[in-house]
């Protein structure tokens, strides 16, 4: 698919202009690969996370939550295979020192270098596709040969000497904190196999080429659920989880035509099956969420490395076994970006272009804006009271600056579903005008009925 660079630029500009996303450390010239979420961004991200938590924990009797730490014993990352094998193929421009991912530049010419390939095989692919790469502006003679670059981010936590203590890592994925707590959860709650543990938290990766805005960053948040099952039902539960996660994305408000399945053809050796749900970003269909059947690899590794028994005892069959794991894993930033890309709309209204973010109403950062027609006290006092009353039920914003037209446009750009105008008639008829973001239609509603009216709209 052709990249829609223009649309993507517009979306990035809007996120900055309206306080969704800021580049990190901007006053110091920026800091690559990390972003800050502004006042609108944090509201949208929280709504996305709450929706995920509701679907994955609140509505499930068989899934419980966890919040494990970012720092963990480095032994965990040895056992998981990250210290030895969590790497991407890095090439560096000999003159400019620009770093690129060999698999990405190959992907740009339609050649897939999968995770199982050795570095020699990738270098051979680069050589055999030298001409096609040149046509795309990459002369591989200007670059060093590809080498493996480990993605774990090291820290010096607890390292008080100069003699190179074992490094401690910032976690590269949240699920390892789930695996190492699986016994704790099982021993301290009433869960019975099959059961799941869900977690939302930060993860860190030394991405070689952080790119496409918040799509690929070095610090990001993951929402992961690991489901522990008896080996014989792994694949049937996997199919159920795939369907469940697809339905969850639809219930959040993503349109089915913007989503598609992508099956991994070359699996890591322990995986039984792996699918991504891809979203149609302006730069093409790309991975939004991964759903993987991981067999008993993770718990076996942690059992072997820790020396602790991680078997499950089935009371009914009197069997001991290491549970198999199926997982769903999605980045908050990627889902946030998907919501923004799907919502960004430009509409002609008279001679003007209206920019409106048609964010699914239930996850819009601001649900209701209260806009008194004038700043005069006779309107601002009751309008402020209305803000206080409604903010018991909804996330509201009060705005009395500029003309009402400009205020509507501002609310459209942050995706506020309903704007309430308190005007001079409101003083006498105790009613207000409610404007719908998508249709721009306006209705006169008595103040006494507002909460019920709006609650019905958000249902």
Q: Which residues bind ligand GAP (CB under 6 A)?
A: 173, 175, 205, 207, 216-217, 220, 222, 224, 287-290, 327, 329-331, 333-334
CB 247 within 8 A of CB 216: no
CB atoms within 10 A of CB 407: 20
Phi then psi for residue 22, to 5 deg, are -120, 145
Closest-CA residue to 420 (of 445, 452, 403): 445
- Judged by DSSP in three states, 44 sits in helix
Q: How far is the CB of 219 from ligand GAP (least distance, A)?
A: 8
Residues 197 and 63: beta-carbon distance below 8 Å: yes
Q: 423 phi and psi, to 5 degrees?
A: -115, -175
- Asked if 129 contacts 111 with a C-beta cutoff of 8 angstroms, the reply is yes
Q: Which residue is nearest to ligand GAP (CB)?
A: 331
Minimum distance, C-beta of residue 389 to ligand GAP, in the bound complex (Å): 39
Host H or E run for residue 425: helix 424-429
Nearer to ligand GAP (CB atom), residue 159 or residue 300? 300
**3-state class of 394 per DSSP?**
coil
Q: Considering beta carbons, is residue 253 or 333 the nearer one to ligand GAP?
A: 333
Strands (E) across 315-441 are located at 319-321, 324-331, 344-349, 352-357, 368-372, 396-398, 418-422, 431-436
Please give the distance of CA 41 from its chain centroid, rounded to a whole number: 12
**Residue 334 or residue 410: which is nearer to ligand GAP going by CB?**
334
Closest CB to ligand GAP among residues 207, 237? 207
Task: Name 360's Cβ contacts closer than 8 Å, sequence gap at least 6.
Answer: 252, 253, 339, 343
Tokens at residue 61, please? 């009797």
Distance, in Å, from the CA atom of 35 to the CA atom of 207, rounded to the nearest integer, reads 14
The least CB distance from residue 218 to ligand GAP, in Å, is 7
Contacts of 211 (CB under 8 A, 6+ apart): none
Contacts 24+ apart (CB under 8 A), 353-358: 354/409, 354/412, 355/14, 355/409, 355/412, 355/413, 356/412, 356/413, 356/415, 356/437, 356/438, 357/14, 357/412, 357/413, 357/414, 357/415, 358/415, 358/437, 358/438
Q: How far is the CB of 339 from ligand GAP (least distance, A)?
A: 13
Q: State the minimum distance, in angstroms, from the CB of residue 38 to ligand GAP.
A: 18
Residue 334 or 407 with smaller CB distance to ligand GAP: 334
> For residues 336 and 408, which CB has a smaller minimum distance to ligand GAP in the complex?
336
Q: Which one, 253 or 331, has the nearer CB to ligand GAP?
A: 331
- Nearest-approach distance from CB 137 to ligand GAP, in angstroms: 24
Compute the least distance from the CB of residue 5 to ligand GAP, in Å.
Answer: 20
CB nearer ligand GAP, residue 22 or residue 398: 22
Q: Least distance in Å: CB of 115 to ligand GAP?
A: 10
**Closest separation between CB of residue 81 and ligand GAP, Å?**
12
Strands, E, within 282-430: which ranges?
284-293, 312-314, 319-321, 324-331, 344-349, 352-357, 368-372, 396-398, 418-422
In the bound state with ligand GAP, the residue whose beta carbon lies nearer, of 287 and 436, is 287
Reading the block at residue 175, the tokens are: 């699920």
448 and 389 Cβ atoms separated by less than 8 Å: no
Nearer Cβ to ligand GAP, position 80 or 411?
Answer: 80
CB of 203 to ligand GAP, least distance (A): 7
Give the phi and the psi of residue 152 in degrees, each rounded to 5: -65, 140
Q: How far is the CB of 12 from ligand GAP (least distance, A)?
A: 16
Least distance from ligand GAP to the Cβ atom of residue 394, Å: 30
Q: Which is nearer to ligand GAP, 328 or 426 (CB)?
A: 328
Alpha carbon of 426 to those of 346, 372, 377, 407, 436: distances in Å?
32, 10, 13, 19, 19
Q: Between 198 and 396, whose beta carbon lies closer to ligand GAP? A: 198
In degrees and rounded to multiples of 5, residue 209 shows phi and psi of -125, 85
């Amino acid at each position: 698919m052709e990249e829609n660079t223009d649309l993507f630029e517009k979306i990035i500009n809007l996120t900055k202009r309206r306080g969704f996303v800021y580049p990190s450390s901007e006053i110091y010239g920026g800091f690559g690969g990390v972003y800050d979420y502004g006042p609108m961004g944090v509201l949208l991200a929280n709504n996305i996370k709450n929706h995920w938590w509701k679907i994955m924990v609140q509505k499930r009797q068989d899934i419980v939550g966890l919040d494990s730490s970012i720092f963990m014993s480095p032994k965990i990352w040895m056992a998981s295979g990250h210290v030895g094998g969590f790497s991407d193929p890095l090439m560096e421009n000999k003159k400019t020192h620009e770093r690129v991912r060999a698999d990405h530049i190959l992907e740009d010419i339609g050649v897939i270098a999968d995770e199982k390939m050795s570095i020699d095989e990738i270098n051979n692919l680069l050589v055999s596709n030298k001409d096609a790469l040149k046509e795309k502006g990459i002369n591989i003679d200007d670059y060093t040969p590809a080498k493996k670059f480990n993605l774990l981010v090291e820290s010096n936590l607890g390292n008080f000497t100069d003699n190179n203590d074992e490094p401690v890592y910032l976690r590269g994925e949240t699920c390892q904190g789930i695996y190492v707590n699986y016994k704790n959860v099982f021993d301290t709650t009433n869960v019975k196999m099959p059961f799941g543990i869900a977690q939302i938290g930060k993860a860190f990766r030394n991405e070689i080429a952080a790119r496409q805005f918040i799509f690929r960053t070095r610090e990001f948040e993951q929402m992961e659920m690991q489901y522990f099952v008896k080996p014989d039902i792994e694949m049937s539960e996997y199919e159920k989880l795939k369907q469940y996660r697809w339905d969850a994305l639809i219930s959040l408000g993503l349109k089915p035509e913007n989503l598609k399945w992508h099956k991994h053809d070359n699996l890591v050796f322990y995986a039984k099956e792996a699918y991504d749900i891809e979203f149609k970003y302006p730069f093409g269909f790309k991975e939004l969420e991964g759903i993987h059947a991981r067999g008993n690899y993770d718990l076996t590794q942690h059992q072997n490395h820790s020396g602790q028994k991680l078997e499950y005892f089935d009371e009914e069959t009197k069997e001991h076994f290491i549970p198999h794991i199926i997982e769903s894993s999605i980045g908050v930033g990627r889902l946030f970006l998907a919501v923004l890309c799907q919502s960004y709309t430009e509409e002609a209204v008279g001679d003007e272009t209206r920019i409106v973010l048609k964010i699914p109403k239930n996850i819009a950062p601001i649900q209701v804006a209260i806009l008194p027609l004038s700043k005069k006290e006779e309107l601002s006092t009751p309008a402020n009271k209305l803000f206080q009353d409604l903010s018991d039920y909804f996330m509201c914003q009060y705005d009395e600056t500029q003309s009402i037209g400009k205020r509507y446009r501002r609310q459209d750009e942050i995706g506020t579903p309903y704007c309430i105008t308190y005007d001079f008639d409101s003083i006498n008829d105790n009613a207000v005008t409610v404007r719908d973001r998508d249709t721009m239609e306006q209705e006169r509603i008595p103040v006494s009925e507002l909460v019920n009216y709006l609650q019905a709209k958000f249902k």
